[in-house]
Amino acid sequence: MTNGVDIRTKNLKKPVDVAEYLFTRLHQIGIRSVHGLPGDFNLVALDYLPKAGLKWVGNCNELNAAYAADGYARVKGIGAIITTFGVGELSAVNGIAGAYSEHVPVVHIVGCPSTISQRSGLLLHHTLGNGDFNVFADMSASISCAVAKLNDPAEIAAQIDHALRECWLRSRPVYIMFPTDMVEKKVEGERLESPIDLSEPSNDADREDYVVDVVLKYLHAAQRPVLLVDACAIRHRVLEEVHDLIDKTQLPVFVTPMGKGAINETHPSYGGVYAGSASAPGVKDMVETSDLVISIGALKSDFNTAGFSYRLSQLTSIDLHSDHCIVRYSEYPGVRMKGVLRKVVERLDMSQIKVLPPPRFPEMGTTPIGDTPSSEAVIKQNWFWARIDQFLREHDIVVTETGTANFGIWATRFPANVMSLNQTLWGSIGWAVGACQGAALATQDMAGPEKARRTILFEGDGSLQLTAQEVSTMIRHKLDVIVFVICNDGYTIERFIHGMDEAYNDIATWQYKDLPAVFGGNEDTVKSYVVKTRAEVEKLLADKDFNDRKGLRFVELYMPREDAPKSLMLTAEASAKRNAMTE
């Protein structure tokens, strides 16, 4: 130590504080807003956010902040949340686990006690009182693709760079433990002049070429090939390659529920949503009678497959994933789909490709068959989801909550370039409110307040009651959001699984339209609406002010208690049967 400066610090070419280094790196990889809550172990670090060009969001609780960081990442590419040790980070764990489950890259930074306190085993607040300061990091390790404990200034810069690269490439959360006495330690700032390399590693050329040759062999021989695009095609950034393949071949293409929005639904090759037995008849028939299904980024969960009701043979399947490929029964570990797709597009022989037209999709806004046209009728699920496509615009962001909205949106045909956010695999009710806030902020960060995309949330009344506070964050940050609260008296998906009339599926009746005022909205920033009939829906959706005004539009939308999309009923029935299995 020389005059208070250690030799390591003295030898740094461009010394910067650790907090400045970390937040500058966040800015460099595309983050502009950071979600979270303040706590005494992260306060000093938060002072560094403005200098790095980052905006502090400030959420109502850590769970909502985690949901919001998830939604932000789905739109912006990557998100970040800052919590405090123990009490704060554990509140966020459910949201971080959902991001891990659904392949969403979120950087979780946890302000923690100093390394001195940790070494001394002090009996500090926010601890379990046993001197174990690693217990919460150990909990998060299973829902993080990398854990970085920033305890040694000599290693911190490399740890940060490695964690952020892993977060991006593996598209999953990382956990960064940030002690209070490391915030102002110096690290080498010269590293910031070189951006983190976020490019995907190349496949082994020979292995990749072999897989491409095998794929092309079966594709050229197939008489009825189709493409099936799922969530990991979105998360692992291969949609450009997928669209190149569709444009070149014109092969019929379908999406799964989790893949909704991955494909331009106005494309002539688009055939609809495939979810096994819950699919439209024409979709089900074409996919299940295909002699080659090329599945891209599949996550074959129960709700994504309508209760594991796929009827596809592995002998007629090719599955492309972010870290391996499967052709029939042969698996190729370490061969990533991005490189394979590129070469398939380059090398396929169009003279050998057989193309059948996709099933005819109903015209946008078509009234469902057998449905009453009465404008004074109550708003039914099947009518609403077939009607809402006329309200949507190009480039909208549509967020649907677990429940009727997640299933109903399958029947909605999107205009071009609509982004769809759902949490079908993890399925934590209340997620969509926070995710909507994060998504709306992300588009505002990308395009500015005037050019930000509309963000539209379809939320159940039961789910809203879990995370309603985040409406106040939407108002606080002047986000351009439309919220449809589906008021159908409780937990509909649970009712259809078990206990249709049981009290545990009931909720308290709220005056939903008054919530924006409670949360700080006024006539300039918020407008509330109540709609109970089809005529009122039609009037609202045709209202120019409703469509074009900025700020929050909050709609109470009433539907019958025991009404649900058919796809939800089928999936719930399968879930109930699975829950009742004894062996």
Hey, which residues are catalytic here? 40, 62, 125-126, 427, 461, 488, 490, 494
Q: Say whether 485 sits in a helix, a strand or coil.
A: strand
- Asked if 291 contacts 313 with a C-beta cutoff of 8 angstroms, the reply is no
For residue 23, CA distances in Å to 9, 44, 45, 48 come to 20, 13, 9, 7
CA dihedral (487, 490, 496, 499) positive or negative: negative
Question: Mapping DSSP to helix (H, G, I), strand (E, B) and coil, where does residue 212 land?
Answer: helix
Residue 485: beta bridge partners? 459, 556
- DSSP H helices, 59-204, are 62-76, 87-101, 115-120, 135-141, 153-170
In sequence order, the 6+-apart residues with CB closer than 8 A to the CB of 149 are: 134, 137, 159, 177
| Amino acid at the residue 564 | A
Q: Under 8 Å CB-to-CB from 50, ≥6 apart: which residues? A: none
According to DSSP, residue 489 is labeled S
b/e string for 450-477 if b means 16 or more Cβ within 10 A? eebbbbbbbbbbbbbbbbbbbbbbbbbb
Q: Give dist(CA 139, CA 136) in Å, integer.
A: 5
Long-range contacts of 131-136 (CB under 8 A, 24+ apart): 136/85, 136/86, 136/89, 136/90, 136/110
Place of tokens 């979600």: 35
DSSP assignment string, 216-276? HHHHHH-SSEEEEE-HHHHHTT-HHHHHHHHHHH---EEE-STTTTSS-TTSTTEEEE--G
Q: Determine if residue 429 is left, alpha or beta; phi over 0 gives left, psi from -120 to 50 gives alpha, anything else beta.
A: beta
Tokens at 55, concatenated: 């905006």
Q: Give the Å distances, CA to CA, from 468 to 84, 209, 365, 485, 504.
A: 22, 51, 31, 11, 20
